């Protein structure tokens, strides 16, 4: 199938320092990323904080210009688009931010927030037609048309994210990029917003690119996953393949870092030691070698090339074929008790059953009523 979105060797480097007390430096936030996303799929990009996934999302959306490389949407250059071409691309590609509150203008009513993209992308609509369209968009995301007259601060976190989604849908996009779209929400509300995104993706034929660190969200929603470490993609494959047969030591460590209540001594887990190195001074060779239990002299000197097998599973590790998979004692490695609990919440939210939160970050009760 022809890809809808491609990235070719995209790099984003930031210069830092150079002042009186700071040495000059170069942060390679994104360092040679290539992706190919097909229409209608949900593609997740995962990694620790600081790995460059949010920077990459902004480059894909042209909220940031890359240092080099190119992004192509539906055969059109995103990186070089200007004027009308860029405006048309903004119609087709929309972004959902992590914090729905700070991304919504507090002085605008919900009707204005959702209707604003229509003024730009559908200027021929009459006021009545625009109001009808806003009411329709609010219904699509589970809000009521009368909410159009209220302000964002009057809503709960989950409802504000729904407003953000309605605003993103207003221009009739074909692709939506969500940067941690549910991570600021209560777990039970996350389930509803995750399922809303999944339903909209299916019903409207949208392509979703999801930046996330919650592996349960990724497992539940995505068709394919890319794992990033220090600005590079180290593994990429279908969600089932990556969760059931992770090849890269970093992916294994990420999956094994999910707390497993049944694995009391944690003996079956691949441990990830230490902090991610500073992107100002990335290690030579494989950037993961300072934390990898399988590192050899080769890893310390030579960057591992990406190797893609016939099933489309890509791994950038010198030794992935030699590293034995350590079976977990009690549960499959990707299905810890914590992940199973989250997946059960998402499943129940899909069925409309009563949701009992397993953890709470905010009090967002209105969503579950």
Tokens of 71: 């992004």
Interface positions with ligand SF4 (CB under 6 A): 248-249, 286, 288-289, 292, 294-295, 299, 304, 317-319
| Rounded distance between C-alpha atoms, residue 182 and residue 228, angstroms | 20
- Number of other CB atoms surrounding residue 241 within 10 Å: 18
- Residue 315 beta carbon to ligand SF4: minimum distance, rounded to whole angstroms: 9
- In the bound state with ligand SF4, the residue whose beta carbon lies nearer, of 176 and 287, is 287
- Residue 295 beta carbon to ligand SF4: minimum distance, rounded to whole angstroms: 4
Which DSSP symbol is given to 173? -
CA-based nearest residue to 192, from 205, 177, 182: 182
| Rounded distance between C-alpha atoms, residue 170 and residue 168, angstroms | 6
- Residue 9 beta carbon to ligand SF4: minimum distance, rounded to whole angstroms: 20
Residue whose entry in the numeric block shows the structure tokens 């970093």: 250
- Residue 297 beta carbon to ligand SF4: minimum distance, rounded to whole angstroms: 10
**Burial (Cβ within 10 Å: 0-12, 13-18, ≥19) of residue 126:** exposed
- In the bound state with ligand SF4, the residue whose beta carbon lies nearer, of 141 and 272, is 272
- In the bound state with ligand SF4, the residue whose beta carbon lies nearer, of 230 and 286, is 286
- Residue 212 beta carbon to ligand SF4: minimum distance, rounded to whole angstroms: 22
- In the bound state with ligand SF4, the residue whose beta carbon lies nearer, of 225 and 292, is 292
- In the bound state with ligand SF4, the residue whose beta carbon lies nearer, of 143 and 286, is 286
- Residue 284 beta carbon to ligand SF4: minimum distance, rounded to whole angstroms: 11
Q: Could you tell me if 319 and 332 are in contact, meaning their C-beta atoms sit under 8 angstroms apart?
A: no
User: Which SS3 state, helix, strand or coil, does residue 135 take?
Assistant: helix
- In the bound state with ligand SF4, the residue whose beta carbon lies nearer, of 162 and 318, is 318
Residue 59: phi, psi to the nearest 5?
-70, -40
**What pairing do the DSSP bridges indicate for beta strands 175-179 and 93-96?**
parallel
């Amino acid at each position: 199938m022809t890809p809808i979105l491609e990235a070719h060797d995209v790099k984003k480097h930031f210069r830092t320092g150079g002042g009186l007390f700071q040495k000059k430096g170069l942060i390679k936030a994104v360092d040679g990323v290539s992706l190919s996303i097909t229409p209608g799929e949900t593609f997740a990009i995962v990694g620790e904080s600081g790995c460059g996934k949010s920077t990459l999302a902004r480059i894909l959306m042209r909220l940031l210009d890359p240092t080099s490389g190119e992004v192509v949407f539906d055969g059109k250059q995103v990186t070089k688009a200007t004027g009308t071409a860029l405006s048309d691309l903004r119609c087709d590609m929309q972004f959902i931010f992590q914090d729905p509150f700070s991304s919504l203008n507090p002085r605008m009513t919900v009707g204005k927030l959702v209707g604003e993209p229509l003024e730009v992308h559908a200027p021929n609509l009459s006021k009545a037609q625009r109001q009808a369209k806003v009411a329709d968009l609010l219904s699509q995301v589970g809000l009521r048309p009368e909410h159009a007259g209220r302000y964002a601060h009057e809503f709960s976190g989950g409802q504000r994210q729904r407003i953000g989604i309605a605003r993103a849908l207003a221009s009739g996009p074909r692709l939506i990029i969500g940067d941690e779209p549910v991570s600021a929400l209560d777990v039970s509300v996350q389930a509803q917003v995750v399922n809303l995104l999944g339903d909209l993706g299916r019903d409207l034929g949208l392509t979703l690119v999801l930046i996330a660190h919650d592996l349960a969200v990724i497992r539940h929603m995505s068709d394919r996953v890319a794992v990033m470490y220090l600005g590079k993609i180290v593994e990429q494959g279908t969600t089932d393949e990556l969760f059931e047969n992770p090849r890269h030591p970093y992916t294994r460590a990420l999956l094994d870092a999910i707390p497993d209540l049944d694995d009391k001594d944690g003996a079956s887990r691949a441990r990830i030691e230490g902090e991610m190195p500073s992107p100002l001074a990335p290690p030579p060779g494989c950037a993961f070698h300072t934390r990898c239990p399988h590192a050899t002299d080769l890893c310390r000197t030579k960057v591992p090339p990406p190797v893609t097998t016939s099933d489309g599973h890509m791994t950038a590790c010198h030794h992935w074929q030699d590293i034995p998979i350590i079976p977990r004692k009690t549960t499959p490695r990707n299905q810890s008790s914590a992940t199973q609990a989250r997946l059960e919440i998402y499943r129940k939210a899909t069925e409309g059953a009563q949701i009992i939160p397993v953890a709470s970050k905010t009090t967002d009760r209105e969503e579950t009523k």
